[in-house]
Amino acid sequence: METIDFRTPQEVVPKKNVYIENTWHIGIDIGFGSVKGYAPNKYYCVPSYVKRVDGDMLKVLDEDDILLEDASGIYLVGKAAQEQVTADDTSDTDAELFRRNRYGSKTFEVLAMVGLGIGLMSNKIRQRPKDVPVVIQTGLPTAYMVKRDIHAITKVFQEEHDFRLRIGTGAWRDVHVKPQEVHVMPQPSGTMYAVIIDEEGHYIQNAKSMLLKNMMIVDVGYGTFDPYGTISRKVAVKESLPGLGMLRVLQETAGLIYKEHGEDIRVSALPKYLSKGFVTVLDEEHMTTKDIAIGPYLEAANRAVCMDSIEKLKEISNYLRDYEVLVITGGTGAAWYDMYADYFKGMKGLQVIPGNCNDGLPMMYSNVRGYYMLRYMELKTSKRTIGGS
């Protein structure tokens, strides 16, 4: 097992995507594990971790740095912020990092600004025209699609933003923007649109027949397990269950390491050890160290949590007996796809497909690609640009 595959990547990948002229629309998904984005000239991912920069930080830039500065201070975001977490770090609690009502926190605001700022950047693929309206399509876990949460996340994006952003060793870039429209949809339905819209912005040939089928989308992210099922074109299942995602996998991994070796590792510190593939255990009495491979503990925890999720899915879907299509999506879904496909292979009337079947991008982008493509189709169908006729 390659443990580094379980670490959320940090990347900005240039890509020419379909878009509507005189409008700059962006899909942004702010998950518990990462911020994903999809824009007319790129897709990107940044781990959802933020550290305020104080005077003790060395003034040496690194290619992994993402720095954001606003009126309240300077913040280090993503992979470089994760690297600063120590095994016994208590500066952030899991309750603070992974709570549902996080939209009013500074951490969430910073993540939203980073997602917006990167999405607005020009590159060699496409330059963003000045003064064009900015449109945001984002999403929420299905069970969070209530007025309070929709209003809260819309407010974060729709405010007038004034900040500076620095990527790697590049120059600071000033960002002054107030999105003209913000749309919110259930996260799993993003994958539904990713499955039926191709890279050219057209519905696939069998899109209608696909939508008419009884479909279960299993969106597995960092913090929540979100089954979204439709039967006879009506929503039959819409759940957002904590404790059945990658956070739980990492918690179980840390627990197994502690049980066997007595080394207590904070979950927020685990990502950097996933890159190394091992943790270093210190014998404080004899002042000796040894490296412990994470792989066996991670593999055991990953399988156990995946099987728990399958049991929960069977419970809430009546054993999938009325479903014809099962779509697995999300970053954690990528790690579980083979186990799901193998488990349900005996159900001859059930087709199991990955959320990235239409584009070949990593599965963690399926929802946000669907956000982007749906908004593109809506703009194209209306035959208008925002603010025009």
pLDDT in tens, the chain (389 residues): 789 999 999 999 999 999 998 899 999 999 989 999 999 999 999 999 999 998 666 566 788 899 999 999 999 999 999 988 765 555 554 445 455 567 889 999 999 999 999 999 999 999 999 889 999 999 998 888 889 999 999 999 999 999 999 999 889 999 999 999 999 999 999 999 999 999 999 999 888 888 899 999 999 999 899 999 999 989 999 999 999 999 999 999 999 999 999 888 888 888 889 999 999 888 888 898 999 999 999 999 999 999 999 999 999 999 999 999 999 999 999 999 999 999 999 999 999 999 999 888 999 999 999 999 999 999 998 755 444 43
Burial per residue of 350-362, b for 16 or more beta-carbon CB atoms within 10 angstroms, e otherwise: bebbbbbebbebb
Q: Which of 175, 190, 204, 200 is nearest to 16 (CA)?
A: 200
The per-residue pLDDT for range 4-31, each reduced to its tens digit, is: 999 999 999 999 999 998 899 999 999 9
Q: How do the domains of the chain map onto residue ranges? A: 3-207+357-382
| Cβ within 8 Å of residue 20, ≥6 positions away | 376, 379, 380, 385
Q: Which of 320, 278, 317, 280 is nearest to 297 (CA)?
A: 278
For the 3-207+357-382 domain, the top CATH level (class) is: alpha beta
Distance, in Å, from the CA atom of 310 to the CA atom of 312, rounded to the nearest integer, reads 5
Distance, in Å, from the CA atom of 361 to the CA atom of 338, rounded to the nearest integer, reads 17
Q: How far is CA 158 from CA 26, 144, 173, 177, 291, in A?
A: 13, 19, 20, 9, 48
Q: Which of 215, 89, 104, 113 is nearest to 174 (CA)?
A: 113
Entry pTM: 0.91
Going across the sheet that includes 173-177, the strands are 50-52, 73-77, 66-70, 161-167, 173-177
Residue 77 bridge partners (DSSP): 50
φ/ψ of 147, rounded to 5, equals -55, -40
Size of the chain in residues: 389
